[in-house]
Amino acid sequence: MGSREVALLLLLCMSSTQAADGGGSGARMKLTSGGGLINLGQRWGSKSPLMHTRANFTEVTSIKSSFEFRTLDPEGMVFYGDTNGGADWFVLGLRGGVPEMQVGKANTLTSVAGGPKLNDGKWHQVELRSEGIFVVLEVDGTAVLVLGLHGNREDCNLSGQIRLSLGGILVQELELLNPLQTEMDGCVRGGNWLNLSTPWETDLSEELRSCFTEIQKGSYFPGTGLALFNSSDFPAQQTDESGVEVKIQGLSSTWSGIVLSLKAAQGEPVLTITAQEQTEELTVKFGTQTGTLKLGPHSLALNLSKYAVKVEFGQQQLTTFEDVTQNWLTMWNKGLVLAFGGVPEDSSPYYLQGCLTLIQVNGQDVDLDRALHKHNSISSHSCPASPSPK
């Protein structure tokens, strides 16, 4: 083994440098190539990686890993690696779109962030390599981050394994110096991981979802699931003049299915807004009251006041729905189920198919990764720029 390879192994013992493994969950594993086109956004709500591999130190013949990366997501895990059964680990992620590396070794933690924002929807060439006791992150040919952690070489065991993973971590989230939201709506391709030829494993029950050829900002609903929030997470003002505003944008002429619904924990939905592609209409149901709007390239705005609901769609405005038997702002603050893309617990759900380029509640952008529940098929931060995924 050459001196460069030994340097890498020593670095792995001191800090760890690449990504992780699922670690024998007992689930049936599927094998895939780590060099292909991989969509990382398929494990919502799980800290475990999308895919993983492992190798003995003796199989390592390179001191670097490289891949292309594309995302519009500002935060999430990209790459994790560990040695010594997870005692020493390394994490590469994004926070605010900026790369961040973290290293854990024994009782020592270190973190560094910086460089260009990578969540611009463009493909970037990323390389991780070891230089002595340092890990260097290079983006598009320029070194943007350097992270080092000195350790005791006498404690280093070069006879073990390296575990690598994408889209998740194997250590407990609390072990991180700066906890990161795990979910990453992004894609990697052309991966070369320490020059290993070992296949990667995934325990995903369904087929791995492909990546869109081109992407645009938004949240894509393919017609198979929804995202749920508690309305109390978006407090309403208790006045007649202002209350709650939910704003949605997108090419509504391509929508099909339930765009939004509101319901109490028990009982029927109190409000549904459904796009009818065949009739090119938007149907609003509020209790027993119903109204329709013509689909078009407009913003959809739902306004709740104490005793009324108003829906605006571009220059079109429905007659305000009123119900003086309920204080909707009080109900909102106590907690209604706010769903995008369908109605929860509906026996015959009419899930939304289409792209929502903007979702806001009370002027704040809604991150679907922070939902109480989100179907794995939904892309939280990206939509296809053309109708068909690659």
Task: Give the sign of the dihedral formed by CA 189, CA 97, CA 78, CA 131.
Answer: positive
Between 236 and 385, the more confident residue is: 385
Could you give the CA distance from residue 153 to residue 376 in angstroms, rounded to a whole number? 43
Could you give the CA distance from residue 189 to residue 172 in angstroms, rounded to a whole number? 27
Same domain, 270 and 300: yes
Domain boundary among 188, 211, 234: 211
The confidence score (pLDDT) of residue 277 equals 82
Give the predicted TM-score (pTM) of the model. 0.86
Domain boundary among 176, 211, 246: 211
- Note whether residue 266 is domain-resident: yes
CATH number for the domain spanning 66: value is: 2.60.120.200
Same domain, 63 and 107: yes
142-168 pLDDT, tens per residue? 999 998 876 655 555 555 788 899 998
The answer to whether residues 186 and 41 touch, using CB atoms and an 8 Å cutoff, is: yes
Instruction: Answer whether residue 39 shows pLDDT above 80.
Output: yes
The answer to whether residues 261 and 343 touch, using CB atoms and an 8 Å cutoff, is: yes
132-137 own/partner pairs: CB under 8 Å, 24+ apart: 132/7, 132/11, 133/10, 133/11, 133/14, 133/15, 134/11, 135/11, 135/15, 135/17, 135/90, 135/101, 135/103, 137/92, 137/99, 137/101
Report, as an integer, the average pLDDT of 91-102.
95
∠ CA(378), CA(380), CA(386), 5° rounding?
Answer: 75
The answer to whether residues 333 and 313 touch, using CB atoms and an 8 Å cutoff, is: no
**CA distances in angstroms from 98 to 44, 95, 207, 239, 365, listed in the order given:** 21, 5, 30, 40, 19
Could you give the CA distance from residue 32 to residue 177 in angstroms, rounded to a whole number? 32
Return left, alpha or beta for 144; rule: phi > 0 is left, psi -120 to 50 is alpha, else beta: alpha
**Alpha-carbon 368 to chain mean position:** 8
Residue 146 exposed, middle or buried by CB count within 10 Å (0-12, 13-18, 19+): middle
Instruction: Answer whether residue 3 shows pLDDT above 50.
Output: no
Which residue type occupies 144?
A: V
Residue 109: φ, ψ to 5°:
-125, 145
- Note whether residue 89 is domain-resident: yes
- Note whether residue 390 is domain-resident: no
Same domain, 283 and 349: yes
- Note whether residue 389 is domain-resident: no
Same domain, 221 and 204: no
Domain boundary among 211, 243, 263: 211
178-197 pLDDT, tens per residue? 888 889 999 999 999 988 88
* Ranges 9-18, 31-40, 122-131, 306-315, most confident: 122-131
211-257 pLDDT, tens per residue? 999 999 999 999 999 999 999 999 876 555 568 999 999 988 889 99
Domains of the chain: total: 2
Could you give the CA distance from residue 371 to residue 348 in angstroms, rounded to a whole number? 22
Same domain, 203 and 222: no
Same domain, 157 and 234: no
Report, as an integer, the average pLDDT of 163-179.
83
308-318 pLDDT, tens per residue? 888 888 777 67
> In the predicted model, what is the mean pLDDT of the chain?
83
Same domain, 174 and 262: no
Range of the domain at 253: 217-384
Could you give the CA distance from residue 201 to residue 332 in angstroms, rounded to a whole number? 44
- Note whether residue 25 is domain-resident: yes
